[in-house]
Chain A
Amino acid sequence: MNEEKIKEILNRYKNESGALIPVMQDIQVEYRYLPKETLLFVARELKVPLSRIYSIANFYNAFSLKPKGEHLISVCLGTACHVRGGKRIAEEVERTLNIKSGETTPDLNFTLETVNCLGACALGPVVVVDGHYHGQMTSLKMKKLLSKLIESKGNGKDEENNNSRRT
């Protein structure tokens, strides 16, 4: 754990009531999950019981207690995407990567998430890979996208990531 980093995050919200959640959000952004030692540190610094931090980490979807993969695949299952077949897209990812929604591949390359609406309903079904939006997906398009991702991983070239248009 980088103690300086955590201290810097804590300083951002100094003297603010209700700082705990923003602090945890920033740690989540930094590490892509909430490492145990950072939480122990935050508990000590903010003088809040670890149990409370744990309950918050469990309650909000934003937090993960397990490390997430390098690439985050979010399949939207909002209503608009659902009626256009979003679930089939998620199943395609599950099948190909052999993980369930919310899980990460053992090599820590990919995490699959299903989300309840990304607010890009016009593009449904939507899949977001590392901040890059892919609209009007089909199982077939997902299959192709995944093989491209896996291939670029294999080659050590992270094309998708480099070209991503963060939205």
Chain B
Amino acid sequence: MKKITTPEELDSFRKSLLEKEKSGMVYVSVCLGTGCQAYGSKNVAESLKQEIEKQRLSEKVKIKTTGCHGFCERGPIVVIRPTGIFYQKVKPEDAHEIVNRTVMNGELIEHLLYVEPGTEKKVIYEKDVPFYKKQNRIVSGNNGSIDPADIEDYIRIGGYSALPKTLFKMSPEEIIEEIKKSGLMGRGGGGFPTGVKWESCREAHGEPKYVLCNAEEGNPGAFMDRSLLEGNPHSVLEGMIIGAYAIGSNEGYIYVRMEYPLAVERLKIAIAQAEEYGLLGKNILGSGLDFTIKINRGGGAFVCGESTALMASIEGKVGEPRTKYIHTVESGLWEKPSNLNNVKTWANVPLIINKGAEWYSKIGTTKSKGTKIFSLVGKINNTGLIEIPMGMTLREIIYDIGGGIPGGKKFKAVQTGGPSGGCIPEEFIDLRVDYDELTKVGSMMGSGGMIVMDENTCMVDIAKYFLTFLADESCGKCVPCREGVYRMLKIVTAITEGKGKEEDIPLLEELSKTIVDTSLCALGGTAPNPVMSTIKYFKNEYEAHIKEKKCPAGVCKALIRYEILADKCTGCGACLKSCPQEAISGEKKKVHKITQEKCIKCGICMDTCKFEAIRIL
């Protein structure tokens, strides 16, 4: 491919790509997101390809392997385009039928259609699936229709059209003004106005300036950045190039966590292709702008998501944060002005430039603009990746999009903001999700993890879970976080083991306050949030553990026991055989019994039992 050297060349190249497409080609999109791949979507794509080859249809039908479609629960997902017929849980052996019946004859394959739970209605098109219906997928929507390893796909759908607009028709100041007007705020969770950050970095003294992308998505229960990088890496690159021009930078870095090998691979391909096409590197599109992007693989440290720690890590040091009397926009990477934004923030930029700040700022609430991508996970029917306008209520998210709680269980709480966030109880189910509202109830937006919990989730155990995580991930530089979080963990652990004392709750509250006030960085400063929010809304659960030595949700091992229900046990002996402790006894066809002294509460018997005859007391 010859380098594209002017905006006009890019335009005519795009036109030629569009013309090629017009000829009635049918596209079969197969999701190769991590979720679908784990369900075997690679084999599905392979079978489809073979089928096309066998029938010599490659002139009419093309298999497109794409990034995450979002509806991970129903993977592997296949969508026929342009019609939009949506197939779920597709197996390699369905390939023949998909090609012969649907692609060639427009017939539907009933057993691959999505069935709406409750109404039992079969849904044909992607847009009508309730999971997608209420979403507004302006940033993540293209994931499902482009091949992330093919830059031409991105260009064809209008990608890299914001770039020449900024390079040739706007001054850096105008771009910054546009971003400011759009109301875009840091999508990593901080919520700092992006335009203001860019402006500070542009005005900062010192050369060179760096443009950085934060893809150290360390929050457990979140995979939005991963999906964007894997599904539409060029949207992130385009955002970064525009940012580089606005800020006045020639060097960029993307810091990706090591647990995301596929994202790294896709980024490498995307960067190489963008360079090949003249959209990255020297004299981009003939504008005179030079900009390169390098990838840094993270070392597997949560704290490296913090800006100063991330920059230290790129410098080849231990990822310890520093105090921020001087902001990183003034003195960041190698003590030079550095502008760090999250993956999603960068991906929003081309959109704002293309459609305008006014359009963008109409989406969302008064103070929080645009859409937000969440990973909707945990005890929820429709697990997956969702993109919603700011201001949607938790109820709409959990019940309309998420399809409610599995097994008819009762909703208890939703956790947002990762280890820095909090648990929001049922009484706030009608809360409108935006930066301010989440903070008001003691949680935060965070980068977008949304973990749903039901009646079988123990909130004290959740507090312990996050404290374990944070104690492990604390970098150890400052005392309040290193020692304080560890102390809180010890206290909460004792509570879950039935050794809690009544004075523990006020002690936890006091410790929390001190850690929040005195920690060096945001990791420590927000570390007590999961404890504080669970004490605030679920004090009764703490009290049950402390006073009654009971775990109401049946989770904390020291406070529960497994029992066999005499009226349901058939005496089949399955549990007896599976028990690793030989703690179960009983004759064939007679009710079995668990010897509590031997039981280690591993739960295997409960997994094994087909008659729901084992319960936790």
Contacts and interface: CB of A to CB of B under 8 A. Distances in A.
Interface stretch (B106-114, B190-198, B213-221): B213-221
A79 to B, nearest CB: 4
B384 A122 contact: yes
Interface in B432-462: 449, 451, 453, 457, 462
Nearest to A139: B604
Interface in A44-103: 55-56, 59-63, 77-80, 82-85, 88, 91-92, 95
Q: Which one of A79, A84, A92, A138 has the highest number of Cβ atoms from chain B below 10 Å of its Cβ?
A: A79
B378 A79 contact: yes
A80 B221 contact: yes
Q: Which one of A63, A85, A116, A122 has the highest number of Cβ atoms from chain B below 10 Å of its Cβ?
A: A122
A122 B302 CA distance: 21
The majority secondary structure among interface residues of chain B is mixed
Given A25-B258, A60-B319, A95 B72 contact: no
Nearest to A23: B316
Interface in B204-235: 217-223, 226
A137 to B, nearest CB: 10
Interface stretch (A3-11, A14-22, A33-41): A14-22
Given A21-B299, A78-B221, A88-B602, A59 B315 contact: no
A137 B453 CA distance: 18
Contacts of A134: 38
B301 interface: yes
B302 A116 contact: yes
A150 interface: no
Given A22-B297, A63-B299, A118 B37 contact: no
A143 interface: yes
B341 interface: no
A17 B217 CA distance: 24
B123 to A, nearest CB: 19
Given A91-B602, A95-B580, A140-B608, A117 B219 contact: yes
Interface residues of B, number: 64
Interface string B290-304: 000000111111100
Given A17-B315, A78-B220, A117 B259 contact: yes
B259 A79 contact: no
Nearest to B312: A18
Nearest to A92: B602
B603 A62 contact: no
B272 interface: no
Nearest to A124: B377
B368 interface: no
A78 to B, nearest CB: 4
A167 B603 contact: no
Nearest to A120: B34
Given A116-B469, A118-B259, A122-B72, A83 B457 contact: yes
A123 interface: yes
Q: Which one of A25, A83, A92, A118 has the highest number of Cβ atoms from chain B below 10 Å of its Cβ?
A: A83
Nearest to A123: B38
A19 B602 CA distance: 45
B35 A122 contact: yes
Contacts of B72: 120-123
B189 interface: no
Contacts of A62: 258, 298-300
Nearest to B475: A59
Contact of A88 (B42, B375, B383, B603): B603
A145 to B, nearest CB: 13
A79 B607 contact: no
B604 A143 contact: yes
A79 B604 contact: no
A165 to B, nearest CB: 6
B226 A133 contact: no
A115 interface: yes
B86 interface: no
A119 B315 contact: no
Contacts of A141: 607
Contacts of B578: 140, 143
B38 A19 contact: no
Given A25-B258, A121-B223, A139-B604, A18 B316 contact: yes
B318 interface: yes
Nearest to A135: B38
Contact of B38 (A56, A92, A120, A138): A120
B545 to A, nearest CB: 17
B569 interface: no
A20 B299 CA distance: 12
B258 A119 contact: no
A139 B75 CA distance: 23
Contact of B34 (A82, A119, A139): A119
A150 to B, nearest CB: 14
12 contacts: A77-B220, A78-B220, A80-B383, A82-B220, A83-B457, A85-B603, A117-B221, A119-B226, A119-B259, A121-B222, A121-B378, A167-B37
Given A83-B451, A121-B383, A122-B35, 18 more contacts: A17-B316, A21-B296, A55-B318, A56-B316, A59-B301, A61-B299, A62-B298, A79-B221, A95-B580, A119-B34, A120-B72, A121-B72, A122-B72, A123-B35, A124-B378, A133-B38, A165-B40, A165-B43
Interface of A: 17-22, 25, 55-56, 59-63, 77-80, 82-85, 88, 91-92, 95, 115-124, 126, 133-135, 138-141, 143, 165, 167
**7 closest A-B pairs (Cβ-Cβ)?**
A60-B299, A122-B72, A61-B300, A133-B38, A119-B223, A78-B220, A79-B221
